Amino acid sequence: MELEARQGIPLLGEKVPEMEVQTTHGRMKIPNDFSGKWFVLFSHPADFTPVCTTEFIAFEKMRGDFEKLDCALIGLSIDQVFSHMKWTEWIKENMNVEIGFPIIADNGAVASKLGMIHPGKATNTVRAVFVVDPKGAIRLMLYYPQEIGRNMAEILRAVKALQISDENNVAMPANWPNNDLLGDEVIIPPPTDEKAAKERISKYKCFDWWLCHKKLD
């Protein structure tokens, strides 16, 4: 069933539905305006709220790190665009941080398509995060309740890990690149036959034939 028809939380690997939205940077088409690059679409419950303010400042301070990965940031909540603009103006004047990424002024259409509406909280959106690849496919989703702020370093780590995984056909261990067993090394995909299982033990460092690892090239 297509994402537009299902109207719920999307599945990993599905394409972001095509949408034209109003943002603080003008009209934008998602995902077309980000074609060929990664982007992180994230929602917040409402403007002028304490946790959201800390999150936006944190995202902005790490925006350069995301851009080094050719990854754009775009925020969203069900607030009108003038509310977004007034809020980012307040952040600049009072926190000395200028928000440089666009924020979608959603009328509920985007939030509904991506399952962002918080149950029992009227039209407020959850703290959702969607990492989208250059082909417009959703590669990672995170959902936080209103009460818990996000860890932007983890989102950045996930984008970097996905890119390296795609480029090298490898997997990342827990807490990569600081895994207790493997450090910054990556995991080789499982073998598909007995011959490959035997060969990999001599080719890579292995705990066993099904758990082999290596340094990135």
The answer on 189 and 90 residing in a single domain is no
The answer on 22 and 108 residing in a single domain is yes
Judging by beta carbons within 10 Å of its beta carbon (0-12, 13-18, 19+), is residue 66 exposed, middle or buried?
Answer: buried
144, HSE (Cβ side, Cα atoms, 13 Å) = 18
Q: What is the CATH number of the domain that holds 42?
A: 3.40.30.10
Q: Is 52 a catalytic residue?
A: yes
Note the pLDDT of residue 120.
Answer: 60
Tokens for 202? 């001599």
Residues, the chain:
217
Tokens for 67? 């851009």
Note the pLDDT of residue 41.
Answer: 96
Instruction: Look up residue 190 and give its DSSP letter.
Output: P
- Domain count across the chain: 2
- CA dist., res. 102 & res. 209, Å (int): 47
Whether the per-residue pLDDT at 155 is higher than 50: the answer is yes
Residue 157 lies in a domain: no
pTM here is 0.90
Whether the per-residue pLDDT at 156 is higher than 80: the answer is yes
Residue 161 lies in a domain: no
The answer on 64 and 27 residing in a single domain is yes
SS3 state at 23? strand
Residue with tokens 């407020």: 124
- CA dist., res. 85 & res. 24, Å (int): 7
Note the pLDDT of residue 25.
Answer: 96
The answer on 102 and 42 residing in a single domain is yes
SS3 state at 10? coil
Which amino acid type is present at position 94? Answer: N
6-62 pLDDT, tens digit per residue, is 456 889 999 999 999 999 999 999 999 999 999 999 998 889 999 999 999 999 999
User: By percentage, how much of the chain surpasses pLDDT 90?
Assistant: 75
Q: What angle do CA 47, 109, 66 make, to 5 degrees?
A: 60
Span between the terminal Cα atoms of the chain, in Å: 40
The sign of the dihedral angle between the CA atoms of 100, 105, 55, 180 is negative
**Which helix H or strand E contains 187, and what residues bound it?**
strand 186-187
Which amino acid type is present at position 61? Answer: K
Note the pLDDT of residue 4.
Answer: 42
Note the pLDDT of residue 123.
Answer: 59
Tokens for 212? 């082999």
Residue 156 lies in a domain: no
The answer on 177 and 141 residing in a single domain is no
Tokens for 17? 């539905």
Note the pLDDT of residue 124.
Answer: 67
SS3 state at 72? strand
**Domain of 124?**
3-150
From 94, 115, 150, the end of a domain falls on 150
